[in-house]
Structure formats: structure tokens, C-alpha cells
């Protein structure tokens, strides 16, 4: 690896720790939020925004040539908030007002927030919206791409598969679905509730170019995203195998923590644990 | 050789097509319902035509996405599927984001008579009215259909257009533009009972009124072509001449057109007797033509005449 690549890699690793800490403090202040779901997709979002994948303009959330991103698993939509502040789309002060009456940042994002392309909270819609964005871009010969972050529980929503079939038929290779495969939904493990089985096989069967990666490895995530536009016309599905609550010992892979708010003592323990970066590559 | 009268769907699609030829941002999305006019659209403007699959949920999410990037989007399906199948998508993708998508539903009421209740649209007025920000229109002749089509092109908005399956006789004879912004029109003036209706049943209402005229009853007929937002003062002005109102809809009585009229009257503190006529609260699987089904459900002309006569009699005694 070159010096520049090492530097970039270190930046990404630092961002992992930064984002987890920012999200912790947002929830500690507001006593609201979904931390474990946000921690499983931390590296996914950082690789997109800071790994040279997304096209965007700092300070200009509605730039014409931008790629559109939606955290379709809306309960983790908050994970993008510190990133969007960092990009200058709104003041970082807003992170202190998360879920507060005088703040613009809501539990579930909506487009009144700069940098947010669509409301989320109800699962399964964003992929369809993005099919519209991507189809229009193709027909208008525009370079914009769309990146939709889906939960694996979200894959239960049938409308996603309607869109998946359509997108493959229309050869929307400017559409990327990233599945945060953390194996849990609110009531327990996906495989014990309604078996998803091989998520890769399912996307592949629907005609998507599908790759499976360690969702906490920048090397693997960035390699997957480098495939964009090189998929022989197929939309791209990145199945990111992740751990819900990654980085916090008492949250990792525990469904009971979905929307539980830690106690003050637990927040302190979390701060201690995050002194060591849970992500190493 | 006389040509068959034009179906509402062909009239509307042709109106959209004319604009789409000059505006490449006009997109037409179908969930596998066809039309002669759509065959032409698809052949001549393939880049503006989308077949979504028989996937109404995907269709609505995608339509919202297309609208977000500046397309003038029309969605198109049989009315029952266009409304019920993808209700949440219409709410969360289109309505929440206030996207100017035009939903076209074909075959309201029991228009698809031979297909049975899975193909009937008898809940749509109630369900769609509840969506915030939606406009709901039921054009009942060629002229009003064309005018509505042009409106959707000139000022795109979140609208649901309810089209009947068959062709319908002319009603407006060049005068629709005078009443369009009112959302309501008095097609026949009377002094005793006012029939309020729309669509296929509007035409039946005119038949009922004409027949009762011969019995000496003065029955007016109002076209409530815009269900939401419901008319302003125009409707109150019209109703001020009558002793009673009968609303007639090929729709269940829970939350439909009659309910909307009751809401209107209550909101304005207007006291007038109202009898609501609609489908009984059950689904009908019986075979029959539309006329036979209307007889079965009490919406045939004879039954309607009896209802109006009895309302008139009650209004007389309580005058």
C-alpha cells in the first residue's frame, strides 16, 4: 500500500471511532435513537462518504451532479447526521438538538434536513424511489447514481423485490443496494423468525451483480464499490455482513437493544470501550 | 361508418400524449393495464413510457422518485389496484413528499362488472380522501376528461383521477371551463330534490331526474366532479334552492361521496335533509351486467326513483 493509501485508510479508521462517539453523545443527550442499528452500518456510510465513492459538493446538499444516498433502514438514519454536518450541510450544533423541539434532526430523516433525499421510517420505499432517480438519469444521460442502504429485516418487504426485478430489467447499473446484514430484527434473529437464507443468492437471482463483504472492513467495502459501472449493465448489490451494535460488548448481536436507551453508567462504559477503535481494517 | 364513442382512458391518454410529444419530461407508467391510446404512446414515445410490472407498490415508489427529479408522472392501473394495492406507497412516497404525481384509476364502481368484486372499486373515495394534500376528480364526459388532462399538464399536483370503464355521453357542451374551478356543477336545475353524484351514476341520476319530472317532481342534478377539495360556496348556493338532497354513489357508504357532502354541510352549519344512497355493506359475487348488478345493489333507476319519491314525500310533510 502506498503512503497515500495508508493515510486514507487511517482516515477511514479514525472516522469509525469518531462516528460511533458522535452517535453515542447524540443519544446520551436526547435519550432517543437506535444505536445498535447505527453501529452496524457505520463503516458502510463512512466508506461511501469518505472513501471516495460518492460524488457530492461540500456545503451544497442539492448539487446537480450529486449521487443520492438513502438510509432506507430509517431507524439508522441518524448515523448519517454527523457526516452531513461534517460536509457542511448544516451546523454541527444541530447534533446537540437531535430529537429536540428546536432541532431540525429527527429520529427518522426526511428531506427537510439538508442532505436527506427522502423520508424514511417505513421500510421498503427508498429502493423504488431510487429506481425512479436512476431510470431518469439513464434516460436523460446524466451521471447521477443512487445508493440505498437497506436493513436485512427490511428485505421482508415485498415491494423491494418488485423494484429489484424492475431495476435489473431496466439495466440500472447506476443503482446500488447495500444490505446491512446484521442478522437481527426487533424480535430476534432473522433466520429464526423468517429465514432469509442466502441473501446473495436472492439478489443474484433477481439479476443484480452481487458481492458479499465483511461490512466492517474498509478494504472489502471499497473493493465492492469499485465495481460500480463495471457490472455489465446490472445493478449492484453489496451484502455487508455486519454485527448489530458493533463496538459495544453488551450490545453486539443482541436484539433486545434495538431501541433501548443505555443508562448513564452504560453510556460511561460505552465511552470507555470506544477508547479502543473496534475497527482495525 | 360510425366510430365507437371514445373511452375515457383513451381521451385522457391522448391528451397527455399530445403534450408528451413536446415535453420529454412527461412520463407515463402502467402496471400492466392497457389502452389503445397507450399503445400509440408506447410505440411513439418509448423513452417516456414505463411498464412497472404488475407491481403497483413499486410503481408508486418509482413515480415519486421520478417526480422528485422533475418528471411529470402519470401512474395508470385498474382503479381498485391503483388505490388499494399500493396505498402505503402512495402515502409514504408520494403524499409525504408532496410530489405532483397523477394517479389514474380505470373502472371505478362496478365498471368491471363481469370480473367480480376483486375488480370493483367501491372503497376508493373513502380511502383516497384521507390522504393529505390529494385532489380527487371524477370526470364524467369527454370534455371534462380533456380539461382535467390539460390541468394536470399545466399545473402538476398530487391528484387521483377516477375514470369509468365505458364511454360516457356528453354533458358539458363547451361549458365545463365555466365551472371547473368550482369543483361542482348543477347540470339540471330543480326546486324539490337535488341529486348529487359523479361518474356513471351521474348519468343515471339525470335519467332519474328526467323521469321524475314527468311525475311533477322538480329534481335537480349536481355533478360533484371534484371530491377533494370539495367545492366552496358554489355548492351551498346550488343547494339553497332545494328541500332535500340525495347523494348517489356506486361506492360503500362509509366515508365516500355522500359522507363528503355531509361533512361539507356540517362544516358550514347548513341544515338540509340528506339521504345517502350507495352500495350495501357487502361484496357481491353474482354474475351480471352492470345494469343487473345495480339492480341487485339497489342502485338501478327504478330503485333510485322510489328513494327520491320517498325523500320528497318526507320533505313535503316536514316543510
Interchain CB distance below 8 Å, B58 and A131:
yes
* Rama region for A112: left / alpha / beta (φ>0; ψ in -120 to 50; rest): alpha
* CA–CA separation, A86 and A29 (whole Å): 19
Kindly list the distances between the CA atom of residue A250 and the CA atoms of A19, A153, A227, A267, A270, in Å, as whole numbers in the listed order.
19, 21, 36, 11, 9
* CA–CA separation, A167 and A201 (whole Å): 17
Kindly list the distances between the CA atom of residue B231 and the CA atoms of A230, A248, B127, B139, B250, in Å, as whole numbers in the listed order.
55, 59, 19, 15, 20
- Number of C-beta neighbours around residue A95 at 10 A: 22
Which residues of A are less than 8 Å from B70 in CB distance? 136
CA atoms within 13 A on the CB side of B26: 21
8 A C-beta contact, residue B172 and residue B143: yes
8 A C-beta contact, residue B100 and residue B157: yes
Residue of A136, A141, A154, A207 to mutate, testing the B interface (most B Cβ within 10 Å of its Cβ): A136
| Percent composition of chain B: helix, strand, coil (DSSP 3-state, to 5) | 45, 20, 35
* CA–CA separation, B56 and A25 (whole Å): 41
Residue of B58, B74, B99, B132 to mutate, testing the A interface (most A Cβ within 10 Å of its Cβ): B58
Which residues of A are less than 8 Å from B66 in CB distance? 132-133, 135-136
- Number of C-beta neighbours around residue B269 at 10 A: 6
* CA–CA separation, B281 and B229 (whole Å): 26
Nearest CA in chain B to A118: B97
C-alpha cell at B81: 389496484
A159 interface with B at CB cutoff 8 Å: yes
Which runs of E-coded beta strand occur in B31-184?
49-51, 72-78, 101-106, 135-137, 159-163
- Number of C-beta neighbours around residue B217 at 10 A: 20
Longest distance between any two alpha carbons in chain B, whole Å: 64
Mean pLDDT of A16-20: 98
8 A C-beta contact, residue A152 and residue A181: yes
Interchain CB distance below 8 Å, B53 and A130:
no
Interchain CB distance below 8 Å, B71 and A136:
yes
* CA–CA separation, A192 and A244 (whole Å): 16
* CA–CA separation, A107 and A27 (whole Å): 10
Kindly list the distances between the CA atom of residue A241 and the CA atoms of A21, A146, A220, in Å, as whole numbers in the listed order.
22, 21, 11
- What is the pLDDT of chain A when averaged over all its residues? 96
- Surface of B (28-67) touching A: CB under 8 A: 47, 50, 52-53, 55, 57-58, 60-67
The angle formed by the CA atoms of residues B8, B95 and B224, to the nearest 5 degrees, is 40
Which residues of A are less than 8 Å from B93 in CB distance? 118, 125, 128-129
- In this predicted structure, what is the pLDDT of residue B4? 77
Interchain CB distance below 8 Å, A133 and B65:
yes
Which residues of A are less than 8 Å from B64 in CB distance? 128-129, 132
Interchain CB distance below 8 Å, A162 and B55:
yes
- The long-range contacts involving B38-47, CB below 8 angstroms and separated by at least 24 positions, are B38/B9, B38/B13, B38/B76, B40/B14, B41/B13, B41/B16, B41/B17, B44/B17, B45/B17, B45/B20, B45/B21, B47/A139
Interchain CB distance below 8 Å, B62 and A129:
yes
- In this predicted structure, what is the pLDDT of residue B318? 62
Smallest Cβ–Cβ distance between B93 and the set A117, A125, A165 belongs to A125
A128 interface with B at CB cutoff 8 Å: yes
Give the dihedral sign, CA A88/A92/A98/A101: negative
Asked if residue A257 has pLDDT above 50, the reply is yes
Q: Tell me which of A259 and B26 has the higher pLDDT.
A: B26
Alpha carbon of A169: minimum distance to chain B alpha carbons (Å): 10
* Rama region for A152: left / alpha / beta (φ>0; ψ in -120 to 50; rest): alpha
End-to-end CA distance of chain B: 54
- What is the pLDDT of chain B when averaged over all its residues? 97
A217 interface with B at CB cutoff 8 Å: no
Kindly list the distances between the CA atom of residue A71 and the CA atoms of A147, A170, B18, B167, B316, in Å, as whole numbers in the listed order.
9, 23, 39, 46, 64
Interchain CB distance below 8 Å, A135 and B50:
yes
pLDDT band at A7 (very low <50, low <70, confident <90, very high): confident
- In this predicted structure, what is the pLDDT of residue A165? 98
8 A C-beta contact, residue B160 and residue B137: yes
Which residues of A are less than 8 Å from B62 in CB distance? 128-129, 131-132, 135, 163, 166
Interchain CB distance below 8 Å, A128 and B67:
no
Mean pLDDT of A39-44: 98
Interchain CB distance below 8 Å, B62 and A137:
no
Which residues of B are less than 8 Å from A147 in CB distance? none
Q: How far is CA B68 from the centre of its chain?
A: 27
Asked if residue A3 has pLDDT above 80, the reply is no
Nearest CA in chain B to A142: B69
* CA–CA separation, A193 and B10 (whole Å): 48
* CA–CA separation, B236 and B265 (whole Å): 8
Which runs of E-coded beta strand occur in chain A?
68-71, 146-151, 175-181, 184-185, 188-189, 209-214, 236-241
Residues of chain B with pLDDT under 70: 1-3, 318-319
Give the dihedral sign, CA A60/A63/A69/A74: positive
Nearest CA in chain B to A120: B92
Structure confidence by residue, pLDDT tens digits, A191-218: 999 999 999 999 999 999 999 999 999 9
- In this predicted structure, what is the pLDDT of residue B195? 98
Mean pLDDT of A107-117: 97
Smallest Cβ–Cβ distance between B58 and the set A119, A137, A159 belongs to A159
* CA–CA separation, B100 and B70 (whole Å): 10
Q: Are strands A209-214 and A236-241 parallel, antiparallel or unpaired?
A: parallel
A162 interface with B at CB cutoff 8 Å: yes
| Percent composition of chain A: helix, strand, coil (DSSP 3-state, to 5) | 45, 10, 45
- Short-list B252, B8, B256, CA closest to B140: B8
Residue of A162, A167, A169 to mutate, testing the B interface (most B Cβ within 10 Å of its Cβ): A162
* CA–CA separation, B26 and B95 (whole Å): 20
Residues 6+ apart with CB under 8 A from B65: A128, A129, A130, A131, A132, A133, A136, B93
C-alpha cell at B19: 403534450
Structure confidence by residue, pLDDT tens digits, A133-158: 999 999 999 999 999 999 999 999 99
In a 10 Å sphere around its CB, with 0-12 CB exposed, 13-18 middle and 19+ buried, how is residue B12 labelled? buried
- In this predicted structure, what is the pLDDT of residue B1? 47
Structure confidence by residue, pLDDT tens digits, B150-203: 999 999 999 999 999 999 999 999 999 999 999 999 999 999 999 999 999 999
Nearest CA in chain B to A141: B47
Amino acid at each position: 500500500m502506498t503512503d497515500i493509501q495508508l493515510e486514507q485508510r487511517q482516515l477511514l479508521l479514525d472516522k469509525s471511532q469518531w462516528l460511533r462517539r458522535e452517535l453515542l453523545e447524540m443519544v446520551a443527550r436526547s435519550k432517543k435513537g437506535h444505536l445498535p442499528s447505527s453501529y452496524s452500518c457505520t463503516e458502510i456510510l463512512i466508506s461511501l462518504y469518505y472513501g471516495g465513492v460518492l460524488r457530492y459538493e461540500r456545503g451544497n446538499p442539492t448539487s446537480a451532479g450529486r449521487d443520492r444516498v438513502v438510509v432506507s433502514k430509517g431507524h439508522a438514519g441518524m448515523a448519517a447526521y454527523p457526516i452531513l454536518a461534517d460536509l457542511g450541510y448544516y451546523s454541527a450544533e444541530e447534533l446537540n438538538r437531535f430529537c429536540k423541539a428546536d432541532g431540525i434532526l429527527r429520529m427518522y430523516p426526511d428531506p427537510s434536513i439538508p442532505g436527506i433525499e427522502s423520508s424514511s421510517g417505513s421500510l421498503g420505499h427508498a429502493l423504488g424511489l431510487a429506481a425512479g432517480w436512476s431510470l431518469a438519469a439513464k434516460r436523460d444521460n446524466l451521471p447521477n447514481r443512487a445508493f440505498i442502504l437497506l436493513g436485512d429485516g427490511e428485505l421482508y418487504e415485498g415491494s423491494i423485490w418488485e423494484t429489484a426485478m424492475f431495476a435489473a430489467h431496466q439495466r440500472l447499473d447506476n443503482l446500488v443496494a447495500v444490505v446491512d446484514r446484521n442478522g437481527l430484527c426487533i424480535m430476534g434473529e432473522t433466520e429464526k423468525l423468517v429465514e432469509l437464507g442466502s441473501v446473495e443468492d436472492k439478489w443474484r437471482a433477481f439479476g443484480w451483480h452481487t458481492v458479499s463483504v465483511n461490512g466492517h472492513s474498509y478494504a472489502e467495502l471499497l473493493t465492492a464499490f469499485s465495481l460500480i459501472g463495471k457490472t455489465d449493465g446490472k445493478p449492484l448489490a453489496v451484502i455487508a455482513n455486519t454485527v448489530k451494535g458493533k463496538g459495544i460488548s453488551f450490545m453486539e448481536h443482541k436484539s433486545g437493544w434495538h431501541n433501548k436507551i443505555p443508562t448513564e453508567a452504560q453510556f460511561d462504559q460505552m465511552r470507555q470501550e470506544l477508547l479502543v477503535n473496534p475497527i482495525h481494517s | 361508418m360510425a366510430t365507437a364513442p371514445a373511452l375515457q382512458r383513451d381521451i385522457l391518454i391522448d391528451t397527455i400524449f399530445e403534450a408528451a410529444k413536446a415535453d420529454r419530461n412527461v412520463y407515463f407508467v402502467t402496471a400492466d393495464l392497457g389502452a389503445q391510446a397507450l399503445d400509440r404512446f408506447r410505440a411513439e414515445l418509448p423513452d417516456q413510457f414505463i411498464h412497472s410490472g404488475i407491481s403497483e407498490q413499486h410503481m408508486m415508489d418509482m413515480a415519486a422518485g421520478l417526480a422528485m427529479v422533475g418528471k411529470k408522472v402519470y401512474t395508470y392501473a385498474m382503479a381498485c389496484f391503483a388505490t388499494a394495492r399500493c396505498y402505503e406507497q402512495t402515502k409514504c412516497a408520494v403524499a409525504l413528499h408532496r410530489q405532483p404525481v397523477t394517479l389514474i384509476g380505470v373502472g371505478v364502481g362496478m365498471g368491471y362488472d363481469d370480473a367480480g368484486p376483486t375488480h370493483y372499486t367501491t372503497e376508493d373515495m373513502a380511502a383516497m380522501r384521507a390522504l393529505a394534500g390529494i385532489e380527487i376528480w371524477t370526470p364524467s364526459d369527454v370534455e371534462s376528461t380533456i380539461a382535467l388532462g390539460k390541468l394536470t399538464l399545466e399545473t402538476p399536483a398530487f391528484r387521483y383521477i377516477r375514470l369509468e370503464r365505458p364511454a360516457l355521453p356528453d354533458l358539458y357542451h363547451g361549458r365545463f371551463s365555466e365551472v371547473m374551478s368550482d369543483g361542482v356543477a348543477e347540470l339540471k336545475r330543480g326546486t324539490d330534490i337535488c341529486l348529487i353524484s359523479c361518474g356513471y351514476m351521474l348519468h343515471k341520476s339525470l335519467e332519474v331526474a328526467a323521469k321524475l319530472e314527468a311525475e311533477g317532481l322538480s329534481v335537480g342534478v349536481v355533478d360533484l366532479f371534484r371530491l377533494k377539495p370539495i367545492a366552496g360556496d358554489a355548492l351551498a348556493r346550488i343547494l339553497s334552492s332545494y328541500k332535500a338532497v340525495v347523494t348517489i354513489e356506486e361506492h360503500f357508504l362509509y366515508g365516500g361521496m355522500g359522507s363528503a357532502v355531509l361533512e361539507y354541510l356540517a362544516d358550514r352549519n347548513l341544515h338540509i335533509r340528506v339521504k345517502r344512497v350507495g352500495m350495501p355493506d357487502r361484496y357481491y359475487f353474482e354474475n351480471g351486467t352492470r345494469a343487473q348488478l345495480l339492480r341487485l345493489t339497489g342502485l338501478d333507476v327504478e330503485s333510485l326513483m322510489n328513494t327520491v319519491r320517498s325523500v320528497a314525500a318526507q320533505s313535503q310533510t316536514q316543510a
